[in-house]
A and B are shown apart, each in its own frame.
Chain A
Amino acid sequence: MSHAIANPNLIALYTVARREIVRILRIWAQTLVPPAITMTLYFLIFGSLIGSRIGNMGGFNYMDFIVPGLVMMSIIQNSYGNISSSFFGAKFGRHVEELLVSPMPNWVILGGYVAGAVLRGLMVGVIVLGIAMLFTHVRMPHPWIMLSTVLLGATIFSLAGFINAVYARKFDDVTIVPTFILTPLTYLGGVFYSIKLLPEWAQALTHANPIFYMVNAFRYGLLGMSDVPVGVAYALMIGFVVVLTAFALYLLKRGIGLRS
């Protein structure tokens, strides 16, 4: 690998991302196993036990319907959690200074951490989808839409987790956002239901939830159905990536939360 790369910035990017992956694999019992257990329980309880009494949702049996949302939920939570805990841990342990005193441009630091978090999201996504295949028989009619949605969704929440970690001053600060913002948005983002079940005002409100678009785009890739046009979902996701990247780079340039 290293022989193939000559550009110092690419070597640095590879090093930061590699360090993140090594960390994820080193503490696999904390990073890869919990989502597998949680999602298996979701599939068993909501899908198999309760789902069998619910009947169809959006033209699919309930178990099939919730698979895309649960996979996406795992990816979002793990991407966010990975980068926020890792980058804040680096701040707390002061080894973020290794990066800050190096000649790495800010985009390399951000890119390396985001790459690590996205890869964790992908790993978890594959594990959860693999478990889902034990319970369901989804067709996956649009695999490229699935993959691109996963990558965009994981990138968005990696960037958000990074921004959270930049501002965080104590460990509590990196748990507040997932608990009070991310989890409610995920549960209200159409993971377990089609928004067509909601009253009109709640449907309108749901359209302000970014996770709703990710779940539906992914559902389109996996099942071929969505509550929103996929093009709109892509436009919003790309918009989020651009805005959050610009903001994260601005924070790094100003040294907010990192340099005195």
Chain B
Amino acid sequence: MSTIPALDVVELRKTYATGVEALKGISLSVQPGDFFALLGPNGAGKSTLIGIVSSLVNATGGSVRVFGVDLHAEREAAMRLIGLVPQEMNFNLFEKPFEILVNYAGFYGIPRAEAMLRAEEELKRAQLWDKAHTMSRTLSGGMKRRLMIARAMMTRPPLLILDEPTAGVDIEIRRSMWRTLRDVNAAGTTVILTTHYLEEAESLCRNVAIINHGRIIENGPMKTLLAKLDVESFLLDIDGDLPIVLPALEGAKLLAADAHTLDLEMPRAMDLNRVFDVLGEAGIRVRSMRTKSNRLEELFVRLTGSDDRPGTAEKAA
């Protein structure tokens, strides 16, 4: 595999005309074949970064290279390597999905006959073939998102960038999109993903960068980042009612979430058997247990110091 990064961002800066400094010198490298998560609270600079990489936003300073091709000096060659799935719908609602895909391929110089074959293939993969000749404004939200992924795949891009691709879609469709993205990545496409669902990033991505206030505050393998969390949280479902006074558990925090549930926060190094021993001695029988929160979410909140955590509002979706 090539050692040239799929995306190499160096000291990237962006100050908007309003004076807002969205990016304050970001450097980032994504290796070919990676599945990379770009996380950050709202307004952190993620969309500006993606905007610059997709050439919709002009950088104030710094450089972007896509598979070694300088975006500023060789924009056309660089853009040929990128597929973009934006956060907002950006296809013509008065065109049909088949037409949208074929035209999109045409913009990249793919002959129409070839584009028509690919459009059929991509629409089938996105489970939209039955809607191929339906006016796109009549598609559901989930279908529109899948259409944008299918459109981006029309050019077989070696680098696929997705900005919140699963926002607002139901769990079933989201999981089917995850399968699609895993397949795309397994076939060799480098995938960069921003998402509001942190469990999505944890489940899909191997590497992660967390961006806040226009700077990268963490960047590395997902496992390494998660290992930095020295605390784990669990919810314990109890048989019967909890005693009025809870047993003391040295080194850990034990609180009553409600009359039948305990909220446990303990160091990762702590032996879980000791917890059960203490609870058993106090006559508390644990019926079941579950992790309280997504680990990445916990890390995210700690690092950004923000409770504007992606995913919390729509977790039940």
Contact = CB atoms under 8 A, between A and B. Distances in A.
A104 B86 contact: no
Nearest to A104: B107
Q: Interface centre among B56, B75, B106, B113, by most A CB within 10 Å? A: B106
B304 interface: no
B241 interface: no
Contacts of A1: 112
Contact of B55 (A5, A98, A101): A101
Interface of B: 16, 51, 54-58, 75-77, 79-80, 82, 84, 86, 88-94, 99, 103-104, 106-115
Interface of A: 1-3, 5, 7-9, 11-12, 14-16, 18-19, 22, 26, 90, 93-95, 97-105, 255, 259-260
B107 A260 contact: no
A99 B86 CA distance: 14
A123 B88 CA distance: 36
Contact of A100 (B55, B89, B104): B55
Nearest to A97: B90
B55 A12 contact: no
A2 B112 contact: yes
Given A102-B104, A103-B108, A255-B58, 10 more contacts: A2-B111, A9-B109, A94-B90, A98-B103, A100-B55, A101-B56, A101-B84, A102-B107, A103-B109, A260-B56
A95 B112 contact: no
Contacts of B58: 255, 259-260
Contacts of B93: 93
27 contacts: A2-B113, A2-B115, A5-B111, A8-B110, A11-B111, A15-B106, A15-B112, A16-B106, A16-B107, A93-B93, A95-B90, A97-B86, A97-B90, A98-B103, A98-B104, A98-B107, A99-B107, A100-B55, A100-B56, A102-B79, A103-B75, A103-B107, A104-B76, A104-B107, A105-B76, A259-B57, A260-B16
B197 to A, nearest CB: 24
Contacts of B57: 259-260
Contacts of A101: 54-56, 79, 82, 84
Q: Interface centre among A15, A16, A95, A103, by most B CB within 10 Å? A: A103
A12 B91 CA distance: 17
